[in-house]
Structure 1
Amino acid sequence: MVGSQSPPAAAAPSTETAERVSQRDWELLARALSPRSTLYRPGDSGYPPLALPFNHRYAGIRPAGIVACGAAGDVRTSVRWARSVGLPAVPRSGLGHNYAGYSATTGLLLNMARLNGIDSTPLPGARSRTRTYGRMRVVHDAGTVTVGAGVTNGDLHPMLEDRGMFVPTGRCPTVGVAGLVLGGGIGFSDKMFGLTCDRLVSTTVVLADGSVVKASEDAHPDLFWGCRGGAGNNFGVNTSFTFQYEQFQGDVGVYELRWSLDSALPVMAAAQRIAVNTLDDKRFHLRVGMGTHGLTRDEIRANAGVNAIGQFYGHLDELRDILAPLLAIGTAEERARNKASVREVTPGEASVLLSATTPVQQFGAKSAVLTARRLLTDEQVAAAAEQLLEWPGSDNEDGAGFAMFALGGEINQVPPDATAFVHRNGVFILAAETSWADYDPPSVATANLDWLREFYFAIFGDKPPPQSYQNFPDPTLKDWRRAYYGANYDRLVRVNQKYDPTNFFSYPQAIGT
């Protein structure tokens, strides 16, 4: 049972609109769909699992109907139908991870999971480039792979790895590739190969009027620009994406470092120095953070710790040299364990090792983009560590804390206006998160959200960094337009006015609202 939802942060459309849709209208939609798609209404056996978003915080937002889209043409049919009866149509590409609940609706939910095809096309060898990084041989720009909008990271990784192919995607296997790429797409290979959106070659989009366009640098380039970082559920419904892939052979270096919270200050200071020193070294990837979990104050204190994980495209001795300041921190037991964690594995093993889901059950987040001028000071780290121990607790083992994902390399080589993803001068994206269990009482949900706000304030005070990551949406963020999109926002509005002039695809933080 999902019993402790906080008040929905995602403004849901009025249920009165859905109630005005007649039974005959629903029957017309069902008949118009191809055999590959299915309409589910409340009361149907297939409705509950599709209605429930991965983020159970928004489980109370129930769609009037769900189309499980098995054909791109049925997305078009559904959008046209929804517009004709006055219902919003909201796509859900993965399981509904959105931190702010923007893939939940009381209108028509378009579940894209059945659009899960994956097709690859090799390019002529003359158009590719071969490079060697340690024991890894990479053929850059080896070909293209087209994926349906229902494909998740967990679907794509094994298929590509079996063929020695690679596209930089995220670390959470249940996140949809569509939502990932539309908001940018960070992961453990983005410094080497760019963001997920940087590898996008084209995308097929169903617009609000039901027309279908294929956007690329050559066709509808303004829409293509907006789809690379403008966030999901803007402009239209993307039904497929074509990416440029790499081909690889060999091993990569990985590391998993852990310390007690007592080492927070030296670890965060060393990790930030390493990130700055390796900002242009696309071979090195880092995620560092602190967190805890537990029910009681003693459990929360005992479980609190600091960690750093990542991978390296190069020789192990080079990786150990880079990590030396971190490997020297901690107790003798911690140092020995951390040193042993530095090793070589296959790319497939690395993706499994480094994968992790977003928090489960119910969760929220706040983010910030840290530049070289706004890295965390010792005082900020100490304040964060102190506030971490004040986490109210929950049975949800994902707990709370923050993670910092290193930027640089190929990411920062792209001009901030070349795509809609504006965050091209950062050193880290910081995500502060909290989570709680479905069966926690409402007071626990409230306490967690209050704690998240206080945790973020403890770090940044009343002057947080001006930029935030649009794929970690925060419904309480006031100036979200500039935080997510910076100087690119006005151009995004013009794209939206052209392709969705009536704002049919809308939510509280949609482009143009």
Structure 2
Amino acid sequence: MRTSTLEAMRTTLRGPVTGPQDPDYDQARKIYNAMIDKRPAAIARCVDAGDVMAAIRLVREQGLDLAVRGGGHSGPGLCLVDGGVTVDLSPMRWVRVDPAAGTAQVGGGSQLGDLDHATHAFGLATPSGIISMTGVGGLTLGGGHGYLTRKYGLTVDNLLAADVVLADGSFVTANENEHPDLFWALRGGGGNFGVVTSFTYRLHPVDTVGFGVTVWPVDRTREVLTWYRDFLPRAPEEVYGFFTLFTIPPGPPFPEEIHGRKVCGVVWCHTGDLDGFERDFEAVREPGPPVFHFTSPMPYPMVQGAFDELIPTGYQWYWRGDFFDSIPDAAVDVHLKYGENLPTPLSLMHLYPVDAAAHRVAPEDTAWGYRDAVWSGVFAGVDPDPAQAGTIRRWCVDYHEEMHPYSMGGSYVNFLGQDEAPGRVRATYRDHYDRLAQVKRTYDPDNVFHANQNIRPASREGGG
């Protein structure tokens, strides 16, 4: 990038623009996954929609590559681009709650913790993820699932409107009545269609919930996962539990005698009557006595942040994902094999439920392509030491490849890895892909927004 271009950005934007020669450059390009080491020519920290509009126009005039950063949690590091410009929304962290309307408008750089904190004051929440440091932007545009999904659906099922800066630098609001095709595409289509500077969500009554963690020795994975695959889909919608393979970390709430043990388990969130939530968890003893079972009423934002300190920003990450509609016995055996061989103390596997309320939305209503999925699985190798990068990647890839034959073929787009095979994006969107490519042609015909899990604009003949 020419110095004159960098200076033009600094003159035009209200927010700071950081280049490689600036002392805060390395901090500005730091993201959640330390395995990613990209060097943008400029990082434009935009303070409002006007900054975003100006930044995109300047980037296009100069023919530069563009990436967009919300919370910086992109596993493959899609929020950075070598030699181009990252439009960084992190200064746009604000939430405005309308308790009477039951809605919240949220700045595009906000994190889940910002949203949860603001809405909790009114006894309200909307479905999101399970880590409070996750950005609302990437999570929402990918679809969004978490503790409230069985009760209230996906994040995109609760998205009412989005303010969007388009590829030509113009600004629109997308909802069911304005730019409805764009609104449809934003609900699961990733960052392909524009920069969302604010989201408006429907809220639901959520205050104190029942939180729980139940774990068994990893060699009980067959018995526990066989029980879980039958129990969870039949459980009341108020009962949410994701299955996990992990290593017990040191510290509370886990007793010292199980620290460092490989385990299988379920993390619970109960959004029903607190007087009865313990009864709904009584079945956890059916697969055999757990080595640890903890339940407690807990404010919802505390549940959302329960795992933040275990995996902070700056560790090595490699992940892949798949959707599943069943867990056959052969798949259970694969989970046992890789659970017994977790390569590092922070590596893990999660199976997140995406059934119940999420199944009541028609497949054609949003870009999310797997309304018939029951679980969204992620295989994640994690470690603070860069020397372990190859080890965690190899474990994750091997695990995913052995599990993939039991999958539905596609993945939650936010769980696609750095170097997935060609065709994985199309598989993720199934029959929606061609419609998404048509919307892409309308709103981003030159594929300006391509630093993402990319959907190419349809050709004028109609192909993707």
Normalising by the residue count of structure 1, what TM-score does the alignment of the two structures yield? 0.81
- Alpha-carbon distance, 1:284 to partner: 1.4
Separation (CA, whole Å) in 1 of partners of 2:341 and 2:29: 34
Match of 1:286, SS state, is: strand
- Alpha-carbon distance, 1:406 to partner: 1.0
* Change beyond 3 A, Cα 1:86–1:188: same
* Change beyond 3 A, Cα 1:355–1:319: farther
The answer to whether the 8 A contact 1:292-1:388 is kept is no
- Alpha-carbon distance, 1:161 to partner: 1.1
State yes or no: 1:81 paired with 2:58.
yes
* Change beyond 3 A, Cα 1:302–1:115: closer
* Change beyond 3 A, Cα 1:172–1:357: farther
Residue of structure 2 equivalent to 1:112: 89
**Corresponding residue to 1:235 among 193, 213, 217:** 193
State yes or no: 1:215 paired with 2:170.
no
Separation (CA, whole Å) in 2 of partners of 1:289 and 1:156: 26
Return the letter of the residue paired with 2:320: K
Residue deviations 1:26-65, cap 9 Å, x none? 211211112xx01111121222111122111112x11100
* Change beyond 3 A, Cα 1:477–1:292: farther
Identity of aligned residues (%): 28
Residue deviations 1:323-376, cap 9 Å, x none? 344223444xx36x42xx2343343444344767767511111111111xxx22
The answer to whether the 8 A contact 2:242-2:352 is kept is yes
- Alpha-carbon distance, 1:109 to partner: 0.7
1:98-497 to 2 correspondences below 5 Å: 98-106=74-82, 107-123=84-100, 142-232=101-191, 234-248=192-206, 251-278=208-235, 281-292=236-247, 303-315=261-273, 319-331=277-289, 334=290, 337-338=292-293, 341-353=294-306, 360=313, 361-371=315-325, 375-393=326-344, 397-398=345-346, 400-440=347-387, 444-461=388-405, 464-474=407-417, 475-497=419-441
* Change beyond 3 A, Cα 1:254–1:477: same
* Change beyond 3 A, Cα 1:451–1:156: same
Residue of structure 2 equivalent to 1:97: 73
Separation (CA, whole Å) in 2 of partners of 1:91 and 1:436: 26
Residue deviations 1:434-485, cap 9 Å, x none? 1233442xxx322322221212233345x64312110112231332133211
**Corresponding residue to 1:67 among 44, 55, 74:** 44
- Alpha-carbon distance, 1:322 to partner: 4.1
The answer to whether the 8 A contact 2:67-2:451 is kept is no
Return the letter of the residue paired with 1:38: P
Separation (CA, whole Å) in 1 of partners of 2:107 and 2:260: 44
* Change beyond 3 A, Cα 1:392–1:290: closer
* Change beyond 3 A, Cα 1:271–1:154: same
Residue of structure 2 equivalent to 1:49: 27
**Bigger shift: 222-231 or 310-319?**
310-319
Separation (CA, whole Å) in 2 of partners of 1:345 and 1:25: 51
* Change beyond 3 A, Cα 1:271–1:112: same
Match of 1:56, SS state, is: coil
Residue of structure 2 equivalent to 1:8: none
The answer to whether the 8 A contact 1:381-1:459 is kept is no
The answer to whether the 8 A contact 2:165-2:197 is kept is yes
The answer to whether the 8 A contact 1:76-1:210 is kept is yes
The answer to whether the 8 A contact 2:129-2:139 is kept is yes
- Alpha-carbon distance, 1:257 to partner: 0.3
Normalising by the residue count of structure 2, what TM-score does the alignment of the two structures yield? 0.90
Residue deviations 1:288-318, cap 9 Å, x none? 1112489xxxxx9962111101112234675
* Change beyond 3 A, Cα 1:465–1:358: farther
* Change beyond 3 A, Cα 1:52–1:346: closer
The answer to whether the 8 A contact 2:66-2:451 is kept is no
- Alpha-carbon distance, 1:319 to partner: 4.0
Separation (CA, whole Å) in 2 of partners of 1:322 and 1:99: 35
**Corresponding residue to 1:40 among 18, 21, 41:** 18
Residue deviations 1:383-410, cap 9 Å, x none? 33223334444xxx42x23110112121
Match of 2:203, SS state, is: strand
Separation (CA, whole Å) in 2 of partners of 1:122 and 1:392: 46
Please list every run of 5 or more consecutive structure 2 residues that lacks an aligned counterpart in the other structure. 250-257, 458-464
The answer to whether the 8 A contact 1:173-1:357 is kept is no
Match of 1:256, SS state, is: strand
The answer to whether the 8 A contact 2:350-2:378 is kept is yes
